[in-house]
Each structure stands twice: as C-alpha cells, then as structure tokens.
Amino acid sequence: MKTERCEIDALIDNRKVYLYAAEALEAGKLVAIPTETVYGLGADALNAAAVARVFEVKERPSFDPLILHIHQAKELERYAVVEPVFEGMINTITKLFWPGPLTLVLPKTDLVPDIVTSGLDTVAVRVSAHSAMRGVCKALGRAIAAPSANKFGRISPTSATAVEKELGGQIDLILDAGACSEGIESTIVRPVLDEKGRPALELLREGPITREQFRKIAKIVKPKYQSPEAIQAEQDKPLAPGQMKSHYAPQKRLQIVEPEAVFVPTAGVRYGLLTFEGTSPLAAQDCWSSVVSLSPGSGRLAEAGVRLFAMMRQMDESTEFDEIVAEAIPTHGLGAAIMDRLRRASV
Ligand code: TXA
Ligand code: MG
C-alpha cells in the first residue's frame, strides 16, 4: 500500500484537506492526524472494522482501549455519560482544559463500539487543541478513534516523518503539520468518589496538564493498580494500559542515572547521554560518544517535553553508540510526565 502524505499549512484554510481525510475515514481507511501532543492513528470510531485495523497495524493487544477525539465538548454526551455527581467537576475540567491535552475516562454510551473500549464500560475522550484533529472530526461529523501512531510499546511519533517510519506502507494517509507543540501524550483522568463519597480524580497517566493543576480543582486519589502481569494473565481490562511498566521503548537499552549519581561505564560499550541541559557533572564525564540535550541551554521543561520522543528516536537510530543513558530530570510540573515516559522506556 502506498501511504499518501498531505501537508497542512497553518497559514491557510485547510478545510479541503480535512474533508479529504474525512472521506478516507468514511471509507474505512486509516489516517495519521497530528494533535498538539503526538500524532494519532485515526479511524472512524463508529466503524468497528476500521478500528480493528488500527489494532492490527499497531500490533496493539486487543485489551488496550483507544481514545475518542471529538470536535467540541458539546459532543461529549453522545459518547460518554456525565453522572450528576460529577457534572460540576467535569464542567470545570472541560472549560479549563478543552481543547487541550486532557483525556477524560467516563462511562460509555451504547453508541461506542466495544472494540474501541476493549470491552470496558468506560470510554476515554478528548478534544484536541490541534486544528487538524478538530477539523477532521468536524468534517467527519463524528468521533475519531486514535491511539498514538506508533507500533505498540514503541516511541510515540511527534512528526509526520516519524509516523512514516513507523507505519509507512501500512496506512492510507498522513496529514503533515510538522512537529507537535506538546510532544507528550495527554494527561488521563477519571472521576471517582473518594472514601467519603466525594468527587475526586484518579490520575491514570501523567501528561502536559500537571498534577499540580488538578490539585486546585479536585482531590487526586491513587488509581487502583493492576500489575501488567495480572493484565496479561487475565487478558483483562487495564485501568490505563499506559500504566504498563514497559512502554515507549527504544530498541537500544536505556538506563536512567539519578541526580547526583556517578555513571560507571562498562568497558567496550559506547554510550550516548540524554541530558536535560547539558551543563551537569554527569554531562561532563568523559565516557560519552554523544551528548543530546532535551532543552539545550534554556533548561525549560516545556522544551524538553516537545523534544523528548524525537531525541529518543534520533538516539535509537544513531550508529555512534550502543546504549542510551538518560539523566533524571526535575519531577515538578511537566517533569513528572517526562520522567514517567523515561522510566517506562528504561524497563
Ligand atoms: O495525547 C494523546 O492522548 C494521544 C493523541 C493521539 O491523542 N493518544 C494516545 O493514545 O496517547 P494511546 O492509545 O497511545 O494511549 C491511550 C491510553 C492508553 O494507555 C489506554 O489504555 C488509555 O488511554 N485508555 C483508553 N481508554 C481507556 C479507558 N476506558 N479506561 C482507562 N484507560 C483508557
Ligand atoms: Mg501510545
């Protein structure tokens, strides 16, 4: 199959491209669509056969559910049930963070095919802030089911070129809008009742909307953890399979060095260092074949987030070294999501 690539130019009206992509989705085809977080592999959410192809192409286990992307918050209740007890909290969250990198997990309506939710009675929904994802949702007139456009367990793509390398030849169309502005997948939360029966939130995946931001709105309670082994054994339904310990994995071995720690290289192995700013004592050690900075010079977490997956891909492809060493970064704000991805990549 030839994978077509269409450019999206932020300075012009792209409605024709969005319509073209929507027609492809309508015909059951798969289209990679940029969002502000990472590129998604989109299918018409109400076409179970098309959604099945998403699982096939991604080699994704059938127990790992997809996120629905909708054009605007008003459409939420077509796909999800807003229970009265959570209505106030959900309104606050959607007003503050939609469109944006935030996914809500709520009970699903009957409209949503079981294959989208892997048989769960809940569905994950978000309104992306990217005009392309929203534009195609609008043109299609219904939700688009879209996981990140990478093979299961691998590094998420933050550019059209990265999608092409992962899935080229296996999907019909890629919309190319350049680099993603966030670079890290959306934060996932689920409204629950705390032990006193009051509305609270489970933080199922760390992301660009931070724990600190949610704390101002609601109490955050620990998700009920299910080990990946239990999930595999039962072929059961994970709370958020992004919780699986190993994820976002490069092919090279990746290990993390904690702050202040000294790295002891093994003789004969060539190492590349993934550092935050490049100014740390670790970066000054003389054992690196290559040093890559997430935020060269400026030390900004947002810049590190945008560059994380692209730098991991670049390091994975480099022939200059055999293994990746990642320096732990500060875990406040967005740093928590970045460290979450690095830790899973290191298992
Ligand atoms: O930023 C993002 O969220 C990107 C872009 C494309 O929107 N999408 C993305 O999708 O990261 P994916 O499939 O790579 O990750 C979706 C995560 C998975 O960890 C999945 O288990 C979880 O969402 N999820 C989906 N439905 C769920 C549900 N009903 N309950 C709990 N977790 C769910
Ligand atoms: Mg993913």
User: Closest ligand to 158 CA?
Assistant: 1
pLDDT of residue 278: 87
Low-confidence ranges of the chain (pLDDT < 50): 227-230, 232-237
Contact of 167 with 80, CB cutoff 8 Å:
no
Residue corresponding to tokens 């993934």:
274
Residue corresponding to tokens 């939130």:
201
pLDDT of residue 10: 82
pLDDT of residue 80: 98
Q: How far is the CA of 335 from the centre of ligand 1 (A)?
A: 20
pLDDT of residue 249: 82
Q: How many C-beta atoms lie closer than 10 Å to residue 271's C-beta?
A: 22
pLDDT of residue 335: 96
Strand, helix or coil for residue 130: coil
Cβ partners under 8 Å of residue 170, min gap 6: 1, 3, 57
CA distance 221 to 262: 35
Q: Which residues surround ligand 2, an ion (CB under 5 A)?
A: 148
Give the burial class of 35: count Cβ atoms within 10 A of its Cβ; 0-12 exposed, 13-18 middle, 19 or more buried: buried
**What order of strands is seen across the sheet that includes strand 271-275?**
254-257, 323-327, 271-275, 288-293
Q: Both ends of the chain: CA-CA distance in Å?
A: 34
* Ligand 1, atom nearest to 120 Cα: 29
The string of DSSP codes covering 77-105 is: HHHB---GGGHHHHHHHHHHHSSSSEEEE
pLDDT of residue 332: 92
Longest C-alpha distance within the chain, in Å?
62
pLDDT of residue 279: 87
pLDDT of residue 128: 98
pLDDT of residue 126: 98
Residue of 188, 226, 248, 341 with the most ligand 1 atoms within 8 Å of its CB, for mutation: 188
| Segments of 228-297 assigned E as strands | 254-257, 271-275, 288-293
Give, using CA atoms, the residue closest to atom 15 of ligand 1. Answer: 147
